[in-house]
Structure 1
Amino acid sequence: MLRAEAAVPVRMRRVAVVAPEQALRASLVRIAEVGCVEIDLAGDSGPDVRGPAATRLQRLRAEPTRPVLSEAPPDLDALEREGRTDLLAGEAQLEERLGSAVRHGEVAALAGWCPETEVGSTAARIAGVGGALVPLRGPRGVDPPTLLTGAGTVPAGHAARTVRRSFTPLVTTYGTVPYADLDPTLPAGIVYVVMFGLMFGDAGHGLLLVAIALLLRAGRPRRLAALHPLWPFVAGAGLAATLAGAAYGEFFGPTGVLPVLWLEPLQEPMRLLTSAVGLGAVLLAVAYAAGIVNRWREGGPTAALYATTGIAGAALYLGLAVIAGYVWLGQVVYVVVGAAIAAVGLTLAGVGLYATTAGGAGGAVQTGVQLFDALVRIGSNVVSFARLAAFGLTHAALGAIAWDGTTALAGRGPAGVVAAAFVFLLGNAVAFSLEALVAGVQALRLEFYELFSRLFVGEGRPFKPWHLPVRHLTGPAPDTEPPADGEAVRHAPAREEQS
């Protein structure tokens, strides 16, 4: 079972960084080095108010560099002469936070947010330089920033966290999950690779994707090193495509290498279409269930009851699904029961929608339009999952064309064998590249418009911890032998280390 904390964003704690004035810089340096505290900045200082480091950085007018923070207060004039824009940029960020501190006598404080699990270790770290990290009560009416579980600090070798991290871009590309909502990262990733696999169903092509994932895991090619964290996502998509290809009997097309375990897409398109729509109906039901939970967590039972993405919308969807059961079962009772459930859903949704209008006749008209839109959207969203079958058929058709051309040329002597090999390779290359792109885009579209639109009605604020690498200065190694009388002690230059 999934742990409860894995189903929601990382729990945040309101904190204050408190330190004597003389220890505030050292405390902030350690906060930056740890990189797990988001510090509130004063927003009314104005663009023309710059500290000494920011002023020198502006004078240099150099290309932006990655900021680095010095452990000890640096000589700003020397940094400017040497063109050390990295250290000046780090000092400029530090100045901004020092300027945002609230001071009372000799004590200064900064407020911010920190993951609950990191409060203790961070407090211990800054205590060594005289600072303190004090937990506070969260301000009313202010939601904490959101950090998805997979986006946090990942222990080395932690497989579950690695997989979640690879799925995180699916969610963050859509938007920032509200802090009160469920974290959909893992289920969203699983649903995506399943839908991709159904559209990209070929065991040979799926195994190629798995091979690409293994190359990414090994850091090859180097130019794609930035994609290394996504290797579990690519591997999952490849595995899903391989399993779907085995079910379809497809291995670089209908080559006959694999037996058909379920159906042949080109021979049974209606069965594939029905299965795709049925899967979509199930996924929409799950999305409504998650939407009810999110509305409850956001605004309590009232918000969950009347929202079109809550109980009201779910009842409308269930009623229409029961009515649709009449098509297969042919019993009128399904129409009656379904209509009653749908009427309850429409009534609840209408009350909720009307409450958001200005009232009167105009509000009634607006509510009617929105209810009609909700009905149409449910039908169109269910039918939209037919694209899982449509693009699965397209992939199978491309594979069949390539294989038919290959077999037609293979029996025409040595030249025909060479031509057949060329057609086979070229056809599969076209099918792989084209369908990988199309299936990837279409799975993303279904996830965003049909599913996420029911999970989220608002957007949160992403957690942005202050994190900079810190330059440490280490002193000279002690002399192994004492200097002779009258001989000056030679000091080796300090070595620069960066964490």
Structure 2
Amino acid sequence: MPRAEPAVPVRMRRVAVVAPEKALRESLVRIAEAGCVEIDLAGDGRPEVRRPAATRLRRLRTELEQPLLSEASPDLDALEREGRTDLLAGEAQLEERLGSAVRHGEAAALAGWCPEAEVGATAARIAGAGGALVVLRAPRGVDPPTLLTGADTGPPARPARTVRRSFTPLVSTYGTVPYADLDPTLPAGIVYTVMFGVMFGDAGHGLLLVALALLLRAGRPRRLAALRPLWPFVSGAGLAAIMAGVAYGEFFGPTGVLPVLWLAPLEEPMRLLAAAVLLGAVLLAFAYAAGIVNRWREGGPASALFATTGVAGAALYLGLAAVAGCVWFGRPAYAAAGAVIAVVGLTLVAAGLYATTAGGPGGVVQTGIQLLDAVVRIGSNVVSFARLAAFGLTHAALGAIVWDGTTALAGRGPVGVAAALVVFLAGNALTFALEALVAAVQALRLEYYELFSRLFEGEGRPFRPWHLPVEPAEPIEGLAADAGPPASGETAAGQIARLGPAREEHS
């Protein structure tokens, strides 16, 4: 049975690349080729280092190509004469890291971060060059960089990872998840597609989205090839629209092709509105639950208890929701229990907010204003989910207008049938384009403002590994016979260094 994907960012380890000075370059070349280590660069305050490759690159003053590293130490003058800006740019990056190394005697070291799962393979890779990858204790007060499970650059090993990777832009566009927090990628993607489907509920339009997703998967059209990794996201949105359309009885409008299994939006708008608000209330409850976990992981039990996005805020929300629910269903006697929970939550929120002020009367006033804002925000956040029903009704209304126009023209002879076909196709194309855009934007708005605002209180730092392709070194003529078979893992650069005396004899 395949192991489930973790619900937290990829675990990082603090590492140091240690190598003799003579082997440092080749070790870094192998690090760049692996592309799984983020190396700390020298910050401000250190003396400026003259870097020959960067100087030559500035002199060329031409458009830069994709950086590329040479496996063996190149002749910079020859690269400048040949206009090899790709190799010069790669060498400039290498020089920057060489200049950031800490040296002691003949040894040099560079600190950085590496995913825990890649430490062993990376250590074995640079061991062949004479270097070592040493695991260090993470420094206090410094959070590791964040790499979400679906955002890694390797090929997805399982369908679940392919889906997760397609949802990653939904989270990364909002911000970088703090390293200590839960990874919300998969649930955020599922919630987004569900909200999109409720607003875009038409089985015919959903089928068009699925067809578009299959075209993206096939790399068509070529101009949109960069969007190919998003095809599971688009297909999920299409499937959600199909299911909502089946429930609404909508297939390119109220054509009668599908029976109404749940409700017809235009006939029961209040029922759809109540369902949308209820769905929003449930999603907010899950967001508070995830927020409690994040506050605990970030700052411990005190942070989880008193934060407005922790236990205190969740109690206030649940208490107010219980009061509203009891009143709505005509059970005011049970509202007292909800009121008690709300008061407890309000007290905890007030204590947490007051602790962040300077105290005194000014702190009391500031706390009161923030408490009022918290209560009003809870109500507005719940009501905001009514837009799921509002835009679902808009979609259904546009579909009904197109279908009414089509049926009215179809009964007026051959010309009317042709005109009806044009109205049906053009009307559905316009409805599809307009409503897809509106539903996509509104679902994003609900995800970010109502849900993510409870999950995150800060932002992390993205993991940026150093990765450059490596150009193999050309074999030196006349050395092949002397070299013998290369050692395991030995590069051309290492072979040349080992055969220095032999090269002198040949010359």
Question: TM range, normalised to the smaller chain?
Answer: over 0.9
Q: Which residue of 2 aligns with 1:26?
A: 26
Q: Over residues 438-491 of structure 1, what are the superposed CA-to-partner deviations in whole Å (9 max), with x where a residue is unaligned?
A: 00000000000000000000000000000111111354999xxxxxxxxxxxxx
The answer as to whether partners of 1:154 and 1:162 remain within 8 angstroms in 2 is: no
Q: Which residue of 1 aligns with 2:502?
A: none
The answer as to whether partners of 1:296 and 1:303 remain within 8 angstroms in 2 is: yes
Q: Which residue of 2 aligns with 1:137?
A: 137
Distance 1:50 1:62, change over 3 A: farther
CA distance in 1 between partners of 2:477 and 2:281 (Å): 70
SS of 2:173's equivalent? helix
SS of 2:111's equivalent? strand
Q: Which residue of 1 aligns with 2:267?
A: 267
Pair 1:227 & 2:241 matched:
no
Distance 1:332 1:15, change over 3 A: same
SS of 2:133's equivalent? strand
SS of 1:278's equivalent? helix
Q: Which residue of 1 aligns with 2:84?
A: 84
Deviation at 1:27, TM superposition (A): 0.4
SS of 2:6's equivalent? helix
Deviation at 1:153, TM superposition (A): 3.7
Q: Which residue of 2 aligns with 1:339?
A: 339
Which AA in structure 1 matches 2:355? A
The answer as to whether partners of 1:199 and 1:391 remain within 8 angstroms in 2 is: yes
CA distance in 2 between partners of 1:45 and 1:370 (Å): 42
Cα RMSD for the two superposed structures: 1.7
Q: Over residues 96-139 of structure 1, what are the superposed CA-to-partner deviations in whole Å (9 max), with x where a residue is unaligned?
A: 00000000111000000000000000000111111110111100
Deviation at 1:50, TM superposition (A): 4.1
What are the residue-to-residue correspondences of 1:50-61 with 2, within 5 Å? Answer: 50-61=50-61
CA distance in 2 between partners of 1:214 and 1:472 (Å): 38
Q: Which residue of 2 aligns with 1:486?
A: none
Pair 1:293 & 2:293 matched:
yes
Pair 1:36 & 2:63 matched:
no
The answer as to whether partners of 1:154 and 1:161 remain within 8 angstroms in 2 is: no
What are the residue-to-residue correspondences of 1:99-498 with 2, within 5 Å? Answer: 99-156=99-156, 158-475=158-475
Which AA in structure 1 matches 2:421? A
CA distance in 2 between partners of 1:221 and 1:476 (Å): 46
Deviation at 1:339, TM superposition (A): 1.1
CA distance in 1 between partners of 2:230 and 2:128 (Å): 38
Distance 1:2 1:402, change over 3 A: farther
Deviation at 1:332, TM superposition (A): 3.0
Percent identical residues = 82
Pick which of 116-125 and 42-51 moved more: 42-51
- Paired positions, count: 479
SS of 1:465's equivalent? coil
SS of 1:97's equivalent? helix
CA distance in 2 between partners of 1:177 and 1:157 (Å): 23
The answer as to whether partners of 1:247 and 1:263 remain within 8 angstroms in 2 is: yes
Deviation at 1:83, TM superposition (A): 1.1
Q: Which residue of 2 aligns with 1:74?
A: 74
Which AA in structure 2 matches 1:16? A
Instruction: In structure 2, list runs of 5 or more residues that go unmatched.
Output: 479-491, 493-507
The answer as to whether partners of 2:68 and 2:86 remain within 8 angstroms in 1 is: yes
Deviation at 1:46, TM superposition (A): 6.9
Which AA in structure 2 matches 1:453? S
Pick which of 155-164 and 194-203 moved more: 155-164
Deviation at 1:336, TM superposition (A): 1.1
Distance 1:334 1:89, change over 3 A: same
Deviation at 1:61, TM superposition (A): 1.4
Q: Over residues 177-213 of structure 1, what are the superposed CA-to-partner deviations in whole Å (9 max), with x where a residue is unaligned?
A: 0000000000000000000000000111101110111
Which AA in structure 1 matches 2:204? G
SS of 2:309's equivalent? coil
Deviation at 1:6, TM superposition (A): 1.4
CA distance in 1 between partners of 2:398 and 2:406 (Å): 12
The answer as to whether partners of 1:325 and 1:334 remain within 8 angstroms in 2 is: no
Deviation at 1:243, TM superposition (A): 0.8
The answer as to whether partners of 1:277 and 1:385 remain within 8 angstroms in 2 is: yes
- Give the TM-score taking structure 2 as reference length: 0.92
- Give the TM-score taking structure 1 as reference length: 0.94
CA distance in 2 between partners of 1:113 and 1:192 (Å): 32
SS of 1:138's equivalent? coil
Deviation at 1:3, TM superposition (A): 5.7
CA distance in 2 between partners of 1:139 and 1:4 (Å): 30
Deviation at 1:63, TM superposition (A): 1.8
Deviation at 1:409, TM superposition (A): 0.5
CA distance in 2 between partners of 1:214 and 1:329 (Å): 46
CA distance in 2 between partners of 1:255 and 1:329 (Å): 36
CA distance in 1 between partners of 2:4 and 2:45 (Å): 42
Distance 1:207 1:324, change over 3 A: same
Deviation at 1:47, TM superposition (A): 9.9
Deviation at 1:330, TM superposition (A): 2.2
Instruction: In structure 1, list runs of 5 or more residues that go unmatched.
Output: 479-493, 495-499
CA distance in 2 between partners of 1:95 and 1:401 (Å): 66
The answer as to whether partners of 1:350 and 1:371 remain within 8 angstroms in 2 is: yes
Which AA in structure 1 matches 2:264? E
Deviation at 1:157, TM superposition (A): 5.0
